[in-house]
Amino acid sequence: MKHLLSPLDLSLEELDNLLDLARDISHNPDKYSKRCEGKKLATLFYEPSTRTRLSFEAAMLNLGGSVLGFSSANSSSASKGESVADTIRVISCYADIAAMRHPKEGAPMVAASVSRIPVINAGDGGHQHPTQTLTDLMTIRELGGSLNNFTIGLCGDLKFGRTVHSLISSLVRYSNIKFVLISPKELRIPDYIRDDVLKANNCDFVEVESLDEVMPELDFLYMTRVQRERFFSEDEYLRMKGFYVLDKAKMAMAKESMYVLHPLPRVNEISVEVDDDPRAAYFKQAKYGVYVRMALILTLLGLDK
């Protein structure tokens, strides 16, 4: 039984195949519109996440399948004290594949260990969010033509942002990627990413505080949101929240070929005036998220061929 718990569960070859399939789906959606007829996706969302849940549901519906599930712990048996293991054992009787979001880190791994159907981690606390990483990789690959030879800027909350950590861990497997890590001192990447991932893989990286000075060299700029819940004081949050705002003036310093990515939702870190810039790729990225989830569902169900 194949599951997806971490982006690194996939070998480079499997990842290539998955992204090729996602590309084919994006070019020929009709070809896949009945591929999952009669199949059911269970969306087990123990905490609210409109975006990810709807993306999964859209993916399954686009494939001709159907969806069932819950969108908060309160509307599941978890509120009665049922364990994750028991829940997935029961859901295995109802559905063919499950996507699980849970506030506790490692919950999807527990589910996968007893499940009779493939389990996809749709986000477990601050730990992993592999389908966001697949979305990011597909966006870079589709817009840049490959996953090699880029200078990628990651900007904002690099300390707590799990999407950033997963993306770095995935991109170090490709060649000639230079990372420009842009953050205030307080929100720099954790030591284990710097030492165990970047340095351990001999990656080229710099850590800077100023976005302006590095804008001209970037091929991609991955913006992130500063999350209120990570801070002890409101003042500190407000100071960090306003640290980086990408606006037209900053975009004017960037290459014509640079793209801006963001896992969304954004707050104020990308000014709405940037949305009309052809280099603003974050809504396109959300679209790629559906294709890559379609490819993942097909692959895990063995319907990709």
Partner 1 sequence: MLNVGQLNEGFVLDHIEAGKAMEIYNKLGLGLLDCQVAIIKNARSNKMGKKDIIKIEGGLDLVDLDALGFIDHSITVNVIKDGEIVEKKTLSLPKEITNIIFCNNPRCITSIEQGLKHVFFLADEEKQVYRCKYCEEKYNR
Q: Which residues bind partner 1 (CB under 8 A)?
A: 83-85, 102-107, 109-110, 124-127, 192, 196
Catalytic residue among 101, 127, 141, 159: 101
Among this protein's residues, is 80 annotated catalytic?
A: yes
Q: How far is the CB of 192 from partner 1 (least distance, A)?
A: 7
Among this protein's residues, is 27 annotated catalytic?
A: no
Catalytic residue among 3, 40, 43, 52: 52
Per-residue tokens: 273: 């005036």
The answer to whether residues 288 and 261 touch, using CB atoms and an 8 Å cutoff, is no
Among this protein's residues, is 3 annotated catalytic?
A: no
Bridge partners (DSSP) listed for residue 121: 100
Q: How far is the CB of 48 from partner 1 (least distance, A)?
A: 17
- Mark residue 38 as left, alpha or beta (left: phi above 0; alpha: psi -120 to 50; beta: remaining): left
Q: What angle do CA 83, 87, 89 make, to 5 degrees?
A: 115
- Compare residues 99 and 152 and give the one whose CB is closer to partner 1: 99
Q: How far is the CB of 143 from partner 1 (least distance, A)?
A: 31
Residues 6 or more apart whose CB falls under 8 angstroms from that of 79 comprise 73
Among this protein's residues, is 51 annotated catalytic?
A: yes
Among this protein's residues, is 199 annotated catalytic?
A: no
The answer to whether residues 94 and 40 touch, using CB atoms and an 8 Å cutoff, is yes
Q: How far is the CB of 110 from partner 1 (least distance, A)?
A: 5
d(CA 188, CA 124): 22
- Compare residues 67 and 84 and give the one whose CB is closer to partner 1: 84
The answer to whether residues 16 and 142 touch, using CB atoms and an 8 Å cutoff, is no
- Compare residues 29 and 126 and give the one whose CB is closer to partner 1: 126
- Compare residues 107 and 251 and give the one whose CB is closer to partner 1: 107
- The set of catalytic residues is 51-52, 80, 101, 129
